[in-house]
Structure 1
Amino acid sequence: MSQDEKSFSGRRRRMKTRWTVAVADVLSEFVITVGGIGTIVAVMAVFVVLVARVAPLGLPASISDEVTRETHWGSAKPVHLAVDEYRTIGWVLFDDGRLETFRVDNGEKLAETQLFADKQLSAISTSVGRGGVLLGFLDGTIQFASVDFKTSFIDVVDAPEEFQGMKPGERATFKPSDNETGVIELTSQGQYRLQLLTTNAMEPLQVSDKAILLLDHVPEPGGGGNAVSLSKEDRKYVAYSADGKLRYGIVAEEEDFLTGDVTLNNETIELDIADIQGERPNFLLQTARGNDVFLAWKSGQMVRLVRQNAEDGSGFVLSPVEKVDLLPDTDAELTVCDFILGRETVFVGDSDGGASGWFLVRTAETDDPQLQERKTGDGFTLVRVHELESAPGEKIVSMRASERSRMLAVGYESGRFRVYQMTTELLVLDRHLPGDVPVVSAMITPKDDGLLVESENGLSLWNFDPRHPEISIATAILPVWYEGYPQPRQIWQSSSAGVEPEMKLGLYPLISGTLKATFYSMLFGAPIALLAAIYTSEFTTYKVRTFVKPTVEMMASLPSVVLGFLAAIVFAPVVESFLPFFLTTIVAVPLTFITAAMLWQLMPRRIGLILEDWRLWFMVPVLFLGLFVSFQLAPWVDHLAFEGNVKSWLNGDGNGVVGWVMLMIPLGGLGAFFLNGMVINPYLRAHAVKWSRPQFALMSFAKFAALVLMTFLVAWGVSSLLYWAPTWFGALPWDPRGTFVDSYAQRNSFVVGFVMGFAVIPIIYTIADDALATVPKHLRSASLGCGATPWQTTVRVVIPTAMSGLFSALMIGLGRVVGETMIVLMAGGNTPVTDWNIFSGFRTLSATIAIELPEAVENSTHFRMLFAAALVLFVITFLINTAAEIVRLRFRKRAYQL
């Protein structure tokens, strides 16, 4: 080949190489750009999806599709009205015993039955969500009865021929027998749903010679037909009659063993109201337990009576224990006083539009001094907990509570009707009837999907979408006063056995649990990981480092579920059984290592240089020595510090000085560190110029021993002062138990901190080691050449230079801990508490999402609150990462300046 051909071939190869490099550069830039933009878009998409799921929580309620029609009963006034859960049929009861069934969609009268005959109704007691009713009559008798909706389904092939052509959602009147008339509807699933009304009544009971004026009773569990069936359950009732007597009764069914005949045994006690207040009461209520009875007057005065065992053991008595003014700040009259769902919270409405909610609070458990002063015989007091938005000048005439939530519908004389949510105190809906016709009654249909308002013009029915009144921004973050609690609390409790308990969806316990798990895990894992990275990078040989680093990185291959399983099944029981040993280990093992390091310096220099490469392996026997020392000291520590039983001490036995010592030892150690660096070391450097190496090593060991002893003595002295100082002023000792140390639970933060710290060590260690390895060698060489020791070089040159990488390692480890699910799920106890007790459990945001999201009803309040928890976790992680990046860039800038 000629010279020209070789030159041309060379140019072509160089040109091809340049084109290859140019194409690779373009492709690399394109891939990196697309990847970066795609990452940002993906993160933003996650944020948008979470916001879209959470946003409906803030939407207002709405009503639509109003249907108004006249009632078939005309001007007659029913004493009670109810509709079924499908808004198909309803029933009304009149004071003469007539019970009429009608279609809700068109008002057609379906049937009429006589619930009772030859009597005049004078009082009635019903209960939200239950079909059982108690009737009181002018002749002084009462009668338990049930009026229930019966739902049955018919397959398409079995449906009567005249209904075969129905369309989904279409309804028709159907008479399956001579005694039954109902409504049949074709559902969207292709089944015919038949709605009927069933009634049942027990024999009347004579409780008084005068008319029954007020009546209330505790419905049977489950309600329905079982409320009056032969269930052998006691039925509690309370009745006020025209003779001024209040009668509390318990009706029990007794069955004859031989004949099977059932008789009713009515055990009653009487109380003359004139002994309490001369005038006739206007309202009578009985709580769900059946032990508390409320009497209220239009003036707003309420007397609470409690059923108690008689002192002579002859039975029980009804005693007044408390008198409360329900309308303390107004001259209005009490117009409505009734229970909402659960029969614990009393709704109070007045003639001036005021509305509030009251329930019993245990005075011994509240922090409110005013409530503590209200001493009662049973330790409870009635408190106005919820203040609902008022309608000044508009008289409240009715209230009907929802059968499945804490909502209630309130009707006004002015034609206004409102829907409130009692727990959150939200005004869910506020509307007026056309023409401002006075409201007779307003009710929420059983599924909370409709509003039925009765007025002089007839019945008005709307489709109702309340959205999510159970939650608001305030109730999700701030304390809420839930029914049965002595004061406002922050609680997450999304499930219960029935609909009566309030839904508690406060996010603070989950946020607190997430931060608690993060703090204790990083407290254990971060120092070990960083110190291990510094040691292997700066103080070991290359051969040892190539062995240690892959070994530590292999720890990251352990699945979280395995670590969580081991923590829950193995570690937690072991830690509980040997708790004094593990508490002693936290202090004894580090001190053993430092003591061994001090003794190493006492070794002759020649021998030390020979053993230098094996120094790491000498740590293994030191570790076992530290564990042995801890094991030997544990019984002494348990006896001297915890009076022989750590768990009993945590529960309050003995004094709490040791609790403060746990906190003071780390603080005392920091104080000793600064004292050593700022006072002792400068003095020794000034006076130890002529000391030999053994002399200086011996002085260092003596200094270390003295600082350790001083730390313990100062910690114990300060702790004793903190504990006993309040007693000098006549107060109780300042006991730390109940704060960062308290009662012991097997699955707790101590166990999780150890296991999750173990899981996060490989991540922090690897990134930190890589960051230290990138520090230029000439910086180390320059420092060592100036006479600095390897430790001084590491602390003052290497670590500041690598600080941005070390900080990134910590932040990545922090993100790993914040998002951890399986370990905290299996070993954290899943108790949504808000304390920082290291020996108690917690519940994190991620664990809650993992547990509850698969079971949550789609688009329910619970479902959306779980997405709100995910959004909070997203925001926390985003803020942490943003702050970490800002700090990392600052460290990086300072490193360049070095």
Structure 2
Amino acid sequence: MSGTQPRFTGRKRKLKTHWSVRWSDIVSEGVITVGGIGTIVAVCLVALVLVMEVIPLFRGASIKPLNIREAPWSSGEVVHLELNEYQTMGWLLTQDGTLKVVRLIPSAKKDSEAESMSPLAFEVVKETKLIDDREITAISTSTGQTDFVLGMDDGTVRVGNVEFETTFVDPVEIKNWFVDQTNSVSGKQLSQPGDTAIYKDGVVQMTPQGQYRAQSVDWTLGDPIAVSDSPIVLLDHLPEASTRSSLSGKSTTFVTLTGDDQLKLGVVSEKKSLLSGKVKLDTKLYDLPPATEDDGDPKFVLIDDLGNNVLAVKQSGQLSRYDIRDKSNIVIAETIDLTPDSDALVTSCDWILGRETLCVGDSDGNCSGWFQIRLSDRTDERFANRKSSDGFALVRAHTFPQGPGAVSAFGASSRSRMFIIGYATGQCSLFHMTTEKYVADLMMPGGGLVKLARIAPRDDGLFIEADGKIAHFALSPGFPDITLASLFLPVWYEGYAEPLNMWQSSSSKTEDELKFSLFPLISGTFKATFYSMLFGAPLALLAAVYTSEFSTRRTRTLVKPTVEMMASLPSVVLGFLAALVFAPVVEEVVPACLAALFTVPFTILLGAFIWQVMPQAFTLRLQPFRLWFLAPVLMLGIYLAYWFGPSIEQWLFLGNIKFWLVHPEQGSGVGGWLLILIPFCAFVTFLLDVNVLNTFWRGSVAKAPRFTFSLLSLGKFVLLSIVTFSLAYALGTLLDLAGWDPRGTYIGEFDQRNSLIVGFVMGFAVIPIIYTLADDALSTVPSHLRSASLGCGATHWQTTVRVVIPTAMSGLFSALMIGLGRVAGETMIVLMAGGNTPIEDWNIFNGFRTLSTNIAIELPEAVQGSSHYRVLFLSALVLFLLTFLINTVAEVVRLYFRRRAYQL
């Protein structure tokens, strides 16, 4: 029994160990499976969140009819209608000078009592007679502004202002006021959020928070300003602007067409007395010369946003642009045809928000957008024959689909570039000017000529008048300022000479166009990736090849941990060093830094050839320490760059490289061509050496003594270096003589925080990742492959290039792809050292902005749910898809190389 007990105990112990290993395998397999599936699910959820935030960008608009009633005025009675931002009230001005404050009648479901009281669309709250014994013959308002100018039948104009005032009223005060009223029907209407009622001289509404928001209309009207003895027929004005000077007050510029067919420009300014404090109006009038062509009187007169131009448009489509910058010498700067493709008559002509783009509609139902550009910025054939006295020209930048009838009404949004066009058939169409996006159509019940079309101040409602009826629609426009074309293709923005890809998500004024092109951000992402990998990838791969194949074990144990420790440096520290240390230093020695890109590799290669010339006994004795001899060679290359830098700047860059970069008309472009062509010519020379010279070289000097062979190799290297430089200089000179200057392409205006700095620092950051993975891939190559190659007489270098690297290619490629992903998603280094300029050029001396950096900068400030907010999520989705695509391609290529490696 005593002899069999140990065997039983040992068998039990083995069985226990077996089950322990088995359970460990099961648990490990489960953990790995759950972790892998969890990772996939997490990535899919991230993608789903991005997609859910992006989808609303591309949904269509929706229009819902709310109410349609008889218009409370006769045809031509109302000269202007304005609504508040909550669509609860408004004011209208009639031809006889009466200002009416009105409450909008809600739909029947919410306000059956009000509906029974009045079949009209509005309930009059208050009437005020602004002008006695005179009629309004013309009115000028500006989208998004509260001031206006009235033209009267006696030839005078009056400047006024009407705006909505908002206050929040205590519920007790509201209740007491309604109790005091003899008719408390309105008070009963405030039973739930959204309900409105007449309150004093305005309207009160219950908000979703249970508060009572009261609005009233406050108005002012100035004294008459004599312009002519005949009635004012047409009128437009520039919204009043107040200056910062205490000696001057508000000023208003207006242009009129009088009944005697005279165009007049007026400037009304307030002058305040320093002694009495009284304000006195000073009015100056200027006559505008008549147009040369005689196609009838102007149908529209307009003045642009800067007050530099007056536009007189005739019904035939002829536009005369007056340059009014010099009031003492007003001239017609140019005359153009607004309907160049047809004989249609202009039926609508007005500014959209910002008063820079002119929206023109004609009798054929066509609509187009025009704005002014500088002629010197366009040299193509289309503008070769355009002439103007001031160097500017109006261009048709946007065209829209033809409508079903003549354009009869126009309305512009007060918060975006959206506008509405009404047609003679009763149809209305919504468009967005910048993106040329068709938003939606609607049809007035019963059809008829559309006489009035308005977009609510918040772009959430429409008011249409046609055939004696006025209709109220709820509008959800979606995001008309975003289209796939505007995100990825050039868009023609106001004031620019041609369509461009631009990113400008914020502005100091509401009127400015916002620009949401992702192309500059994608271009910046690729630019950062290209220059960073250009610097970091070769160094990392060559370092991995050296430590894996050529260094001693002692050197490897020292170098590899040192390189891997570089990965511990935080990105924010590297970005800080790049922005505040490297960038200012590089700016002071730009020529030396550029020269170092060539002198450092040259001196290292030259040192390698000199090492071969040395006696073999000496080199063998110092073989373990040869890496340390690289330090003085490296310092020599840097010193040569610093020494040659000023001479190179004087020889090739006019003595000042920054001046040379921004003045292409001065100096030659040979210096720039050398920067571009030397790497290309070096590659061509290398191919020539490998494929042509080596055949002759091996046959002639293969049996020469070692010293002679090394000396001849050194001479060949020096000769090929001279050939490389000479070839690059010759090609650069020929290209410069042909008129091709490289400035403006890969080289251009110098910015302190530029691609060169980011490429160096981000390349430094990515070296440890690529190096570690590449070194591991090379180390896993079976040693018997190396032994077989060396046994066949191959050198260490031949074995490395022709056996080891092809076998480890899948791992090397994976290392590059992981490094690429690290660079593409980098944020802090680019944020601090990249300049944050969203431009799309490849100039190495200029900055850029990447997708990830843009998200980090702007997402905290973006309004939730806005176009800007969702486009930032689209940026994240694009970055996600780019990374996914790169990783997929990388995996396919890696598997291909892996299959080839198995064949070995």
Aligned to 1:167: 192
Aligned to 1:730: none
Residues 122 and 211 in structure 1, CA contact (< 8 A), matched pair in contact too? yes
Aligned to 2:732: 719
Deviation at 1:271, TM superposition (A): 2.6
Aligned equivalent of 2:668, options 620, 636, 655: 655
Work out whether 1:207 is the aligned partner of 2:227.
Answer: yes
Deviation at 1:402, TM superposition (A): 0.2
Mapped partners of 1:839, 1:233: distance in 2? 46
Aligned to 1:619: 630
Aligned to 1:187: 207
Pairing 1:322-341 to 2, within 5 Å after superposition:
322-341=334-353
Aligned to 1:17: 17
Deviation at 1:261, TM superposition (A): 2.3
Deviation at 1:71, TM superposition (A): 3.9
Three-state SS of the structure 2 residue aligned to 1:220 is: strand
Work out whether 1:855 is the aligned partner of 2:880.
Answer: no
TM-score by length of 1: 0.95
Work out whether 1:867 is the aligned partner of 2:873.
Answer: yes
Mapped partners of 2:792, 2:718: distance in 1? 31
Mapped partners of 1:693, 1:278: distance in 2? 95
Report the AA paired with residue 136 of structure 1.
G
Deviation at 1:456, TM superposition (A): 3.7
Three-state SS of the structure 1 residue aligned to 2:306 is: coil
Residues 520 and 750 in structure 1, CA contact (< 8 A), matched pair in contact too? yes
TM-score by length of 2: 0.94
Residues 115 and 199 in structure 1, CA contact (< 8 A), matched pair in contact too? no
Pairing 1:476-875 to 2, within 5 Å after superposition:
476-651=487-662, 652=664, 653-724=666-737, 726=738, 733-875=739-881
Three-state SS of the structure 2 residue aligned to 1:79 is: strand
Report the AA paired with residue 166 of structure 2.
T
Deviation at 1:221, TM superposition (A): 4.3
Report the AA paired with residue 186 of structure 1.
M
Post-superposition Cα deviations, 1:617-655, rounded to whole Å, max 9, x if no partner, equal 111122212211111111111111212111111112310
Report the AA paired with residue 567 of structure 2.
A
Residues 247 and 272 in structure 2, CA contact (< 8 A), matched pair in contact too? no
Deviation at 1:367, TM superposition (A): 4.4
Deviation at 1:272, TM superposition (A): 4.5
Report the AA paired with residue 513 of structure 2.
E
Residues 308 and 319 in structure 1, CA contact (< 8 A), matched pair in contact too? no
Mapped partners of 2:476, 2:596: distance in 1? 59
Aligned to 2:117: none
Deviation at 1:256, TM superposition (A): 2.4
Work out whether 1:141 is the aligned partner of 2:156.
Answer: yes
Mapped partners of 1:200, 1:129: distance in 2? 18
Mapped partners of 2:105, 2:57: distance in 1? 31
Aligned to 2:454: 443
Cα gap change, 1:785 to 1:278, in 2 (>3 Å): closer
Aligned to 1:32: 32
Aligned to 1:233: 250
What RMSD, in angstroms, separates the aligned Cα atoms of the two structures?
1.9
Deviation at 1:506, TM superposition (A): 0.7
Work out whether 1:216 is the aligned partner of 2:236.
Answer: yes
Residues 447 and 466 in structure 2, CA contact (< 8 A), matched pair in contact too? no
Pairing 1:455-494 to 2, within 5 Å after superposition:
455-494=466-505
Mapped partners of 1:878, 1:444: distance in 2? 43
Aligned equivalent of 2:363, options 345, 351, 358: 351
Aligned to 2:306: 289
Post-superposition Cα deviations, 1:231-272, rounded to whole Å, max 9, x if no partner, equal 713321111111221111211212222222222111221134
Three-state SS of the structure 1 residue aligned to 2:485 is: helix
Deviation at 1:209, TM superposition (A): 1.3
Report the AA paired with residue 85 of structure 2.
E
Three-state SS of the structure 1 residue aligned to 2:296 is: coil
Cα gap change, 1:350 to 1:690, in 2 (>3 Å): closer
Deviation at 1:470, TM superposition (A): 0.3
Deviation at 1:360, TM superposition (A): 1.1
Mapped partners of 2:835, 2:626: distance in 1? 41
Deviation at 1:275, TM superposition (A): 5.2
Mapped partners of 1:231, 1:153: distance in 2? 35
Aligned to 1:178: none
Cα gap change, 1:788 to 1:455, in 2 (>3 Å): same
Pairing 1:236-251 to 2, within 5 Å after superposition:
236-251=253-268
Cα gap change, 1:710 to 1:278, in 2 (>3 Å): closer
More moved, 275-284 vs 411-420? 275-284
Residues 248 and 272 in structure 2, CA contact (< 8 A), matched pair in contact too? no
More moved, 4-13 vs 48-57? 4-13
Mapped partners of 2:357, 2:291: distance in 1? 27
Residues 356 and 371 in structure 2, CA contact (< 8 A), matched pair in contact too? yes
Residues 364 and 372 in structure 1, CA contact (< 8 A), matched pair in contact too? no
Aligned equivalent of 1:876, options 874, 877, 882: 882
Aligned to 1:729: none
Mapped partners of 2:383, 2:76: distance in 1? 47
Aligned equivalent of 2:322, options 305, 323, 339: 305
Deviation at 1:230, TM superposition (A): 11
Runs of 5+ unmatched residues, structure 1:
176-180, 310-314, 727-732
Deviation at 1:168, TM superposition (A): 2.7
Report the AA paired with residue 670 of structure 2.
V
Residues 230 and 253 in structure 1, CA contact (< 8 A), matched pair in contact too? no
Deviation at 1:379, TM superposition (A): 1.0
Three-state SS of the structure 1 residue aligned to 2:102 is: strand
Runs of 5+ unmatched residues, structure 2:
107-121, 179-186
Deviation at 1:797, TM superposition (A): 1.3
Mapped partners of 1:606, 1:642: distance in 2? 47
Mapped partners of 2:46, 2:274: distance in 1? 68
Three-state SS of the structure 2 residue aligned to 1:219 is: strand
Aligned to 2:118: none
Identical-pair percentage = 52
Post-superposition Cα deviations, 1:743-790, rounded to whole Å, max 9, x if no partner, equal 111111011101110110111011111111111122222222222221
Aligned to 1:57: 57
Residues 155 and 227 in structure 2, CA contact (< 8 A), matched pair in contact too? yes
